[in-house]
Structure 1
Amino acid sequence: MISKLCNQIFDQSINDYHINNEIDFEPKNPYQTATIEFLLYKKNWIDTAQWHMEDVVRNPNIDCAEGLKLKRKIDASNQERTDLVEYIDSYFLERFEGIQPKADAKINTESPAWAIDRLSILGLKIFHMNEEAERIDASEQHRATCSDKLSVLLRQRTDLSKSIDELISDIENGDKYMRVYKQLKMYNDPSLNPILYSLNKENNG
């Protein structure tokens, strides 16, 4: 089942990240290049580093220049994350290439890779909520509340994992089909972001 593989690799990546716990640390991906395992590990590492960037940038005392620099870094990370999700979807498109959908086949609300993207983020929520549930310097009420939230997140991961496996099975059986839309993010494109192309026009006279 693909969800079991995803959850194992996501947990591995999250635990590996927290050995050094440094945003700029460059990991050695333990999986062979161009395999689905390699892509899943890389995907979650990006998510994990960005999770911590988002924590830092919310510091109300952060230096403005440093905060802006970090915001630019988060934007770049978001683009890398999106690109990688599309790579993962390409893996599934190739895997299902020879399958003929049934006449009454339906399309899912999201592609397999975007569902897996949510599973990666859930892994991070579970890790950090578990940390909060065990925080010795927090109040008993805080730990209890976080423990309740952790139970919900674990149930959510179970449900999402099952849904992803069912989606893959439905595509393999021809009951559903894949259609992938590029995300076409506009804010990073200087020809589509009105602020950027206005500046470009000003600079070019």
Structure 2
Amino acid sequence: MTESNPRHDIDADSIVNLQQELVARWHEQDIENPYTGFLALVCQQHEFNYRLWHEEDVARSPSVSDTEIAQVKRAIDKLNQQRNDMIEKLDDSITVRLHDANVMAADTAPINTETAGSTIDRLSIMSLRLYHYEEQLHRTDADGDHKAKVAERIAICRLQHSDLTFALSQLLDDLFAGRKQHKTYRQFKMYNDPSLNPAIYQSAKRIAC
């Protein structure tokens, strides 16, 4: 059964506003997640992107030792896995909400090329990019050419962020109106699974011998 306009509490504007607020807040105070419901999942997923962003900065520093690089690389792998797991949890939560709203799209209804969870992830990264570009814009040690380049990129990123927010809003409306099918797509990352990553299980065999 499909309802024409079932109510849902997943709002694209609320999601992107939260992501932007959290980026600014977490640069000033400890990371915390006081939210409930779907926004709690959004916050948790955003946290992994926030931590990833800063680990990636460290990984590219020329002053970091090889030992530190190895530690950072392992942290990045773990955070990436957690980030991807949370994308699936966002989509799983939408599946539950669609079921609770008694929404079932027809088998012939179109499927979006990107899930809502994946779009929320992209918006999370975009909010981080915008925040750090704004930092670059206000650097006192940067020259005019640097700031002009940054200002141009900020304008492009803001447009992309706006477009993506609108696309998410449309997708959510389509999903909860039954106009599009919703599925969680499992990413099944292989590199962190000792039984699937040849570099891990072959190494274990050599150690055992």
In structure 2, the residue matched to 1:171 is 175
1:132 aligns with 2:136: yes
| TM-score, normalised via structure 1 length | 0.92
Count of aligned positions: 198
Pairwise CA distance, 1:103:
5.3
In structure 2, the residue matched to 1:192 is 196
Deviation sequence 1:120-164 (CA, Å, 0-9, x none): 000011111111122121001111110111000000011000101
Q: For the Cα contact (< 8 Å) 2:107–2:181, is it kept in 1?
A: no
CA–CA distance in 2 between the matches of 1:68 and 1:198?
20
Q: 1:13 aligns with which of 1, 22, 25?
A: 22
CA–CA distance in 2 between the matches of 1:50 and 1:100?
36
Q: For the Cα contact (< 8 Å) 2:87–2:117, is it kept in 1?
A: yes
Q: 1:81 aligns with which of 73, 80, 83?
A: 83
**Larger relative CO (CA 8 A, sep 6+): 1 or 2?**
2
Unpaired runs of 5+ residues, structure 2, are 1-9
Pairwise CA distance, 1:111:
1.0
Q: Report the 3-state secondary structure (helix = DSSP H, G, I; strand = E; otherwise coil) of the residue aligned with 1:176.
A: coil
| TM-score, normalised via structure 2 length | 0.90
Q: Which residue type is aligned with residue 188 of structure 1?
A: N
In structure 2, the residue matched to 1:4 is 13
1:201 aligns with 2:205: yes
CA–CA distance in 1 between the matches of 2:107 and 2:21?
41
Q: Which residue type is aligned with residue 19 of structure 2?
A: F
Q: 2:69 aligns with which of 52, 67, 81?
A: 67
In structure 2, the residue matched to 1:95 is 97
Pairwise CA distance, 1:102:
3.3
- Determine what percentage of the aligned residue pairs are the same residue: 32
Pairwise CA distance, 1:100:
2.1
In structure 2, the residue matched to 1:43 is 45
Pairwise CA distance, 1:49:
1.5
Segments ≥4 residues shifted beyond 4 Å: none
Q: Report the 3-state secondary structure (helix = DSSP H, G, I; strand = E; otherwise coil) of the residue aligned with 1:186.
A: coil
CA–CA distance in 2 between the matches of 1:204 and 1:182?
33
Q: For the Cα contact (< 8 Å) 1:104–1:175, is it kept in 2?
A: no
Unpaired runs of 5+ residues, structure 1, are none
1:183 aligns with 2:181: no
